[in-house]
Chains A and B, each alone.
Chain A
Amino acid sequence: MDDQLYRQPVFRVFQIFLIIFTVLAGSIFAQDPAIGLTDSADVFVPAPPGAVKATDVVYDQGGAVDLEWELSPDDDGSLKVSGYYICRREVGGEDYRLVDSVMAGVRTFVDETVEQDHTYQYMVAVNGDCSTAPSEESNSITPDMEWLNFGLSNLFIIGLVICGSVIYFIAHAKRGKKFFIRKIAGLEAVDEAIGRATEMGRPILFVPGILDMDDVQTIAALTILGRVSRVVADYDTKINVPVSRSLVMTAARETIKSSYMAAGRPDAYSDDMAAYITDEQFGYVAAVDGMMVREKPATCFLLGAFFAESLILAETGNSIGAIQIAGTARPAQLPFFVAACDFTLIGEELFAASAYLSGEPKQMGSLKGQDVGKAIAMVFIVLGVITTTLAQAWDIGVFTWISDLLHDLFQVTS
């Protein structure tokens, strides 16, 4: 016959049946000494894997099961075993179905396709050259959801200390205690920059970044806008806040309106002060650049989250001779602001700015509380580096103990 004929699907199916029949016949005959055909089977059947153990994945939402099994004795790297099939059935329900497969030598698997409160059993079948051998059934397992993730206890403790410090200092500030905050150069210049715009009779441009209200930098920028617009209202200067997100526009309008009301000048407020341009990044930049060169603002505030547009905006502002106060927490954009702006708020300074500018007890207390967090981090870094290094120099138990404790304390496992 033609070789092509053997490659037809029907012959493939026949071949598979023949193999299965041979394996089955071999195993039947092996159990019956009267028939006596035991050693002549052509197909090698690997020994099945053993002790399949299923456990619920802890601190999850009940959607995963951990599987562990002993490798087949034939899985010794000699290529007699090509992998394992993971099969699962729901207790009291369906037959075993294939879930996934893993390579030879692998003895664990996480099944993330289970449903909470359903009970399952597993079977792991070793895959030989032309045969498979299933393990015994695993224990029954019912994945469950945990309400509390005790794996994050260390995070909770440190969070509690820092948040507790914030609350403590806010309470103290409310009682009238004065806190010292060091000078932040960029913020010292805010009033001066607004005053300059007033004297020159030119507007102020405030760009609150290009991200939405779900970014903490935008929120920080709008908090600073509150302070800036308050001074603007006092000085009767014009302010423009072009935004690239509708929600930011709404929040910016509310912020400016509140400031104008606080300054006793609600009549001077206009919704046009904060205007939506477009969500498109470079469309927004084109429009803001146009505003800069046409209206020639005396002062530009570039505060918030910025991306590739940072240098374009900062350079245009520079070219029109505006005083520029910029700030972002995005490390990739900060260099451009440092290079092209007069003052730059670097990362944390952006978040400290609102407290610094307003001097409100709540914000000052919050800033102090955050400083406690930084102090803790500094102490633990110094202590950790010293003890870890010393523990390696001299095998002294206490150094090792402190080193391990600190390492575990700050390790986030999940």
Chain B
Amino acid sequence: MDAIGLWIGAFLTLGIMSFLYKDNPWYKLSESIFVGVSAGYWFITLFWDSIYSKFYIGVSQEGDNYLYVGAILGLMMLMRLIPKVGWISRWPLAFIVGAISGFYLINYFSSNIMRQVANTVMPLFSTDYGQSLFSASVGTIIDNILVAGGTFAGLVYFFFSKEHKGAFGATAKVGIWVIMVTFGATFGYTVMSRMSLLIGRMDFIFGDWLGLIK
């Protein structure tokens, strides 16, 4: 059975990779199997994780009656299958969007605003509060100026209420340059991490399947 699975895995992997040449029946077959199997897999996973493990076990064995709220919202969502009462399905959707927005408001406030500003308010020429002026190394001073200046210029770029002209526009330009340099560094870093995905597949083809890599 393992050998059959191995051959099917290799067949489908090569099928997906054949897309690099062009769209073809082999790719279409692999894609359809991938989509179908994964959709089925997720259906079963969600059924056992959510409906059985969380809801059924939670209610029947742990007595957590709050779970009925989720179940009722889920049933309301299914109302869209009945055209006459399909409008009911908007309620759980509104509940989810509203609740999630409120829930994350505090998180985003604290991480994206408060902590960002707190960490940017720093002495430029020393490593920390309470230390003497110019106590930091040249590298740290440059770091500090880049962080404080870059954050400020970035904020100017994302300020929508004023036209990017004159000194404001020049600062915004610095902001977008800072952002682009950051993107460049991120690009290289992420590409390298993506290589591991390719290496994993190559290892499967040449190692597990063909046995060329021991």
Contact = CB atoms under 8 A, between A and B. Distances in A.
B39 interface: yes
Interface string B84-123: 0000011001001100110011101110011111101111
B161 A368 contact: yes
B60 interface: no
* Among A276, A380, A381, A391, residue most surrounded by chain B Cβ atoms (within 10 Å): A381
B158 A348 contact: yes
Contacts of B123: 385, 388-389, 391-392
Given A213-B100, A338-B183, A371-B161, A278 B42 contact: yes
A358 to B, nearest CB: 14
Nearest to A319: B22
Interface size class of B (residues with CB under 8 A): 35 or more
Given A277-B35, A347-B158, A374-B159, A410 B124 contact: no
Interface stretch (A119-127, A225-233, A283-291): A283-291
B180 A338 contact: yes
Interface in A262-291: 276-280, 282-284, 286-287, 289-290
Given A159-B109, A219-B97, A389-B124, A410 B114 contact: yes
Nearest to A407: B121
A283 B109 contact: no
B71 to A, nearest CB: 15
Given A381-B120, A382-B152, A410-B117, A287 B159 contact: no
Contacts of B148: 381, 385
A352 B160 contact: yes
B203 interface: no
Contacts of B183: 331, 334-335, 338
Nearest to A181: B160
Interface stretch (A46-54, A73-81, A98-106, A246-254): A246-254
B34 A213 contact: no
A398 to B, nearest CB: 16
B161 A181 contact: yes
Interface of B: 16, 19, 22-23, 27-28, 30-31, 34-35, 37-39, 41-42, 46, 77, 80, 89-90, 93, 96-97, 100-101, 104-106, 108-110, 113-118, 120-126, 129, 131-133, 148, 151-152, 155-156, 158-164, 179-180, 182-184, 186-187, 190, 194, 197
Given A385-B120, A410-B115, 12 more contacts: A158-B114, A182-B163, A247-B93, A254-B90, A280-B38, A280-B39, A282-B34, A375-B159, A378-B156, A388-B129, A389-B133, A410-B121
27 contacts: A152-B106, A159-B106, A159-B109, A180-B161, A182-B160, A213-B96, A216-B100, A216-B108, A219-B100, A250-B80, A254-B90, A277-B39, A278-B42, A287-B35, A311-B194, A331-B182, A336-B187, A346-B179, A348-B158, A368-B161, A378-B152, A382-B152, A384-B117, A388-B123, A392-B131, A406-B121, A410-B117
